[in-house]
């Protein structure tokens, strides 16, 4: 009986390893661009934020279309809380690269502290990126709020 259990575990483990696709260098670069974009938001760093965005980026947030100026205003300029802290966790679902265009879908969870209050927010997001001068830039970001508490 133990041999059968070990055999089933070995087969399951092998199948699991084969199901996990290895990311290409381009896919990794796309994902790093998204991660760095959210790091810049967490650090309230508009200069770095612009580095990871196309100049004509469109963000679809809460049923509205924003540009980079709207994002900077809402997330950085108007965010004057001295105790502000944002910790992001990104779980990528799929990342596809096709020449100079890429898209990735992920779950974003953020723990945000502001004005003495802590909130946890979860989104499902899809980003379209373009490769400009060997650098990935976010061109479109669509965000769907999943949960806020």
Domain containing 114 — which CATH number? Answer: 3.10.450.50
Q: Extract the tokens encoding 15.
A: 């199948």
Q: Is residue 111 part of a domain?
A: yes
Q: Report how many domains make up the chain.
A: 1
The answer to whether 121 and 48 are in contact (CB under 8 A) is: no
What pLDDT shows up at residue 15?
A: 44
Q: Is 30 inside any structural domain?
A: yes
Amino acid 21: pLDDT: 73
Domain that holds residue 130: 20-148
Provide the β-strand partners of residue 103: 96, 128
Contact 136, 114 (CB under 8 A): no
Of the listed ranges 18-22, 37-41, 93-97, the least confidently predicted one is: 18-22
Is 9 domain-assigned?
no
* Residue 17: per-residue pLDDT: 42
Residue 10, in any domain of the structure? no
Does pLDDT of 7 surpass 70?
Answer: no
Flag whether 4 is in a domain. no
Report the predicted TM-score, pTM, of the whole model to 2 decimal places. Answer: 0.85
From the DSSP assignment, how many helices (H) and strands (E) are in the chain? 4, 6
CA distance 2 to 117: 53
Residue 144, in any domain of the structure: yes
Asked, for residue 11, whether it belongs to a domain, the answer is no
Per-residue model confidence as pLDDT tens digits over 86-123:
999 999 999 999 999 999 999 999 999 999 999 999 99
Tell me if 14 is assigned to some domain: no
């Amino acid at each position: 009986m133990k041999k059968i259990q070990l055999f089933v575990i070995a087969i399951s483990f092998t199948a699991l390893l084969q199901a996990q696709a290895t990311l290409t260098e381009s896919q990794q670069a796309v994902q790093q661009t998204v991660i760095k974009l959210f790091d810049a938001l967490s650090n309230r760093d508009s200069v770095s934020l612009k580095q990871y965005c196309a100049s004509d980026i469109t963000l679809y947030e809460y049923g509205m279309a924003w540009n980079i100026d709207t994002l900077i205003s809402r997330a950085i300029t108007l965010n004057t809380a001295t105790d502000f802290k944002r910790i992001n966790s990104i779980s990528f679902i799929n990342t596809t690269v096709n020449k100079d265009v890429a898209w990735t879908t992920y779950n974003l969870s953020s723990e945000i502290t502001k004005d003495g209050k802590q909130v946890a927010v979860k989104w499902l997001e899809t980003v379209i990126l373009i490769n400009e001068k060997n650098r990935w830039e976010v061109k479109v970001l669509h965000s769907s709020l999943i949960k806020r508490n």
